[in-house]
């Protein structure tokens, strides 16, 4: 179960007039077909999004899309379809963590933090940065960012 507070807007919600036939299943099939056409690996899982507190909570079905080889270290995508009258609203949010982006952000923050500090602080900060960013790779980060750009293209192709 995904908490709605974990979700970030990946792209604005799209509204379809006459969207009676749009379901989570049809969206998933369209994404899978387009990803295959583009040669981009994607995998799916069914899940739910929980909103509200203890006494006024609600649950909404969703599908989660992720990179099959990076399920735990890339961002995931939560896709929901809501209906209102003859309209269908498709929402795409991202959630989770990216290990490479976290390491890159840590390195950048620590680099900025060292500005204007004395030498002993800078040395300690460099050591800390080195320990916190073990396993970081510019190439892996670039590959991950390229993957997200491909995902943007897939969504542009089918959800626009």
What would the mean pLDDT of 7-25 be, rounded to a whole number?
94
Alpha carbon distance 146, 25 (integer Å):
26
**Contact between residue 44 and residue 67 where contact means Cβ atoms under 8 Å apart:** no
| 112: in domain | no
What is the structure's pLDDT at 110? 46
Domain of 82, in residue numbers: 2-98
| 18: in domain | yes
| pLDDT interval class at 130 (50, 70, 90) | very low
Beta bridge partners, 44, equal 65
What is the structure's pLDDT at 31? 97
| CATH classification of the domain holding 30 | 3.30.310
Residue 57 half-sphere exposure toward CB, CA atoms < 13 A: 12
Q: In Å, what is the CA distance from 22 to each residue of 28, 30, 66, 86, 90?
A: 10, 10, 21, 11, 9
What are the phi and psi torsion angles at 110 (to 5°)? -65, -35
| 77: in domain | yes
| pLDDT interval class at 43 (50, 70, 90) | very high
Residue bearing the bigger pLDDT, 23 or 130: 23
DSSP 52: S
Q: Is 60 exceeded by the pLDDT of residue 47?
A: yes
Predicted model pTM: 0.78
| 56: in domain | yes
What is the structure's pLDDT at 100? 77
Non-local (6+) Cβ contacts of 88 within 8 A are 15, 16, 19, 20, 22, 81, 82
| 105: in domain | no
| 80: in domain | yes
Number of domains the chain contains: 1
């Amino acid at each position: 179960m995904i908490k709605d507070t974990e979700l970030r807007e990946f792209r604005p919600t799209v509204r379809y007039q006459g969207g009676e036939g749009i379901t989570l299943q049809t969206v998933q099939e369209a994404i899978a077909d387009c990803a295959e056409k583009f040669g981009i690996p994607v995998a799916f899982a069914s899940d739910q999004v929980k909103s509200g507190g203890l006494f006024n909570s609600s649950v909404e079905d969703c599908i989660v899309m992720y990179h099959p080889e990076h399920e735990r270290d890339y961002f995931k995508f939560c896709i929901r379809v809501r209906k209102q009258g003859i309209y269908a609203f498709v929402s795409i949010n991202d959630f989770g963590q990216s290990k490479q982006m976290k390491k890159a952000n840590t390195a950048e923050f620590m680099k900025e933090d060292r500005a204007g500090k004395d030498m002993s602080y800078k040395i300690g900060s460099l050591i800390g940065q080195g320990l916190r960013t073990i396993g970081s790779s510019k190439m892996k980060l670039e590959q991950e960012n390229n993957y997200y750009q491909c995902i943007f293209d897939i969504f542009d192709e089918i959800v626009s």
